[in-house]
């Protein structure tokens, strides 16, 4: 969990007081520290690149803000995209098609055609997708996603590598898939898997890599194929709890790359961190609007709910919270931090010891950069919030908040209902 400095009891984010950000841009608001984004990218890239040539495909589903994409483009990152919308956003942010790898699941033919028309390499998820792509462009660079039968993650809903999930070509059919691809005219360039999200230990990555190495050996032996890369996917977790330890990136890199180098002729590793790069760079600032005491607990009502940050309601996820304008004060009372959504599950935090709260105080929700804004919604007809980027004491608006007019603009009432 990232540590923040303070000045006169006020929380600082990238050298800017959280209270000043709320005063200028309103609340709720997402705030990202540019230097933290760059630092996280360099940490994961350097850990692996010291062991073997490395390509980082930032999993942009975690956060697709154009300014953040542009920062990573400048850092030399490539992209893992899962939709045509993400592909278009990354192209707009300055990524060239060869720096994007499209990994969709249950891809429609129109979307497949749209991605191929942009000359973006495609990571094939099924034999159906392979055969449909062959009719569109059999010369497009491709790789394959295999289901490694190794699953892990912080919640059952984010485990993607288990045998029972919808993702990837079954492991016992993957060599057959490569053989068919060659017959169709493709030259497969890589092999990919993804085990799940928020994995905090090395062992599942090692098991998945062992599965990939075994497949590569079969491809080299049986088909004479020599791949350009092995892609171990993403899923590196972060410490959401203050007492959690961060992943040992150096141990992870050494453990995985040694298997690839010793067992195959592959010269490059690809990985797809999203959460690791962006989660702890961003906080959600939300204002206390109501204090309600009940016989069982005290609720701190704020102006952000699961429409703004859905992870606690959806996954039961923990996010550390602090009082940004009372940052140095000790906890005096226990609160549930709840939002304005008409659902009993609208909690951002439960039973947290915080300084005595009053209306107008600013709650900072930590580690909100991954799957925060990107999973936000307009539920209860609430507009999406602003996003702000801070850098060495300056703040810039990087996404305007929605208005009620934005929410209603595209709706239509048939004329017969107006009579």
Rounded Cα distance, 37 and 279, in Å: 9
- Name 117's Cβ contacts closer than 8 Å, sequence gap at least 6: none
90 is catalytic: no
3-class DSSP assignment, residue 135: helix
148: left (phi over 0), alpha (psi -120 to 50) or beta: alpha
Task: Report the alpha-carbon distance of residue 328 to residue 10 in Å, rounded.
Answer: 8
Which member of 51, 60, 193, 342 is catalytic? 342
What sign results for the dihedral spanned by CA atoms 18, 22, 28, 30?
negative
Both tokens of 91, joined, read 């192209």
For residues 62 and 324, what is the distance between their CA atoms, to the nearest angstrom?
25
Cα-to-chain-centroid distance, residue 334: 31
Q: What is the pLDDT along the chain (419 residues), one digit of tens a residue?
A: 899 999 999 999 999 999 999 999 999 999 999 999 999 999 999 999 999 999 999 999 999 999 999 999 999 999 999 999 999 999 999 999 999 999 999 999 999 999 999 999 999 999 999 999 999 999 999 999 998 876 555 555 545 555 567 788 998 999 999 999 999 999 999 999 988 766 778 988 999 999 999 999 999 999 999 999 999 998 899 999 998 989 999 999 999 999 999 999 999 999 999 999 999 999 999 999 999 999 999 999 999 999 999 999 998 999 999 999 999 999 999 999 999 999 999 999 999 999 999 999 999 999 999 999 999 999 999 999 999 999 999 999 999 999 999 999 999 999 999 99
Residues 323, 329 contacting (CB under 8 angstroms): yes
| pTM for the predicted model, two decimal places | 0.94
The domains of the chain, with CATH numbers, are 6-32+279-408 (2.40.37.10), 34-274 (3.20.20.10)
- Decide: residue 296, CB within 10 A, 0-12 exposed, 13-18 middle, 19+ buried: exposed
């Amino acid at each position: 969990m990232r540590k923040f400095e303070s000045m006169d009891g006020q929380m600082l984010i990238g050298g800017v007081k959280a209270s000043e950000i709320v005063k200028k841009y309103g609340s709720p608001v997402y705030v990202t520290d540019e230097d933290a984004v760059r630092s996280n990218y360099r940490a994961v890239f350097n850990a692996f690149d010291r062991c073997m040539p490395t390509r980082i495909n930032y999993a942009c589903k975690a956060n697709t803000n154009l300014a953040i994409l542009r920062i990573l483009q400048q850092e030399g990152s490539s992209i893992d995209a899962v939709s045509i919308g993400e592909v278009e956003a990354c192209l707009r942010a300055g990524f060239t098609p060869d720096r994007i790898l499209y990994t969709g699941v249950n891809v429609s033919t129109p979307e497949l055609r749209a991605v191929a028309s942009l000359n973006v390499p495609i990571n094939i998820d099924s034999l159906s997708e392979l055969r449909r792509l062959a009719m569109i462009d059999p010369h497009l660079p491709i790789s394959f996603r295999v289901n490694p039968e190794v699953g892990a993650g912080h919640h059952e809903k984010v485990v993607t590598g288990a045998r029972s999930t919808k993702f990837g070509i079954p492991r016992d059919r993957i060599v057959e898939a490569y053989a068919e691809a060659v017959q169709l005219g493709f030259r497969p360039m890589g092999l990919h898997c993804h085990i799940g999200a928020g994995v905090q230990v090395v062992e599942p990555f090692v098991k998945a890599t062992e599965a990939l190495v075994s497949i590569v050996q079969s491809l080299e032996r049986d088909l004479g194929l020599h791949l350009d890369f092995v892609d171990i996917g993403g899923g590196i977790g972060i410490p959401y709890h203050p007492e959690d330890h961060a992943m040992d990136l150096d141990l992870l890199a050494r453990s995985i790359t040694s298997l690839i180098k010793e067992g195959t002729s592959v010269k490059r590793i690809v990985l797809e961190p999203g959460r690791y790069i962006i989660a702890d760079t961003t906080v959600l600032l939300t204002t206390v609007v109501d204090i309600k005491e009940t016989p069982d607990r005290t609720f701190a009502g704020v102006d952000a709910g699961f429409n703004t940050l859905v992870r606690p309601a959806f996954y039961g996820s923990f996010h550390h919270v602090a009082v940004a304008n009372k940052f140095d004060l000790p906890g005096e009372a226990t609160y549930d931090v709840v939002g304005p959504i008409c659902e009993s599950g609208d909690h951002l935090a439960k039973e947290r010891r915080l300084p005595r709260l009053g209306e107008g105080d600013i709650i900072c929700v930590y580690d909100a950069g991954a799957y925060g804004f990107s999973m936000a919604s307009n539920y209860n007809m609430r507009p999406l919030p602003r996003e702000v980027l801070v850098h060495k004491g300056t703040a810039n608006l990087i996404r305007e908040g929605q208005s009620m007019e934005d929410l209603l603009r595209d709706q239509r009432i048939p004329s017969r209902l107006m009579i």
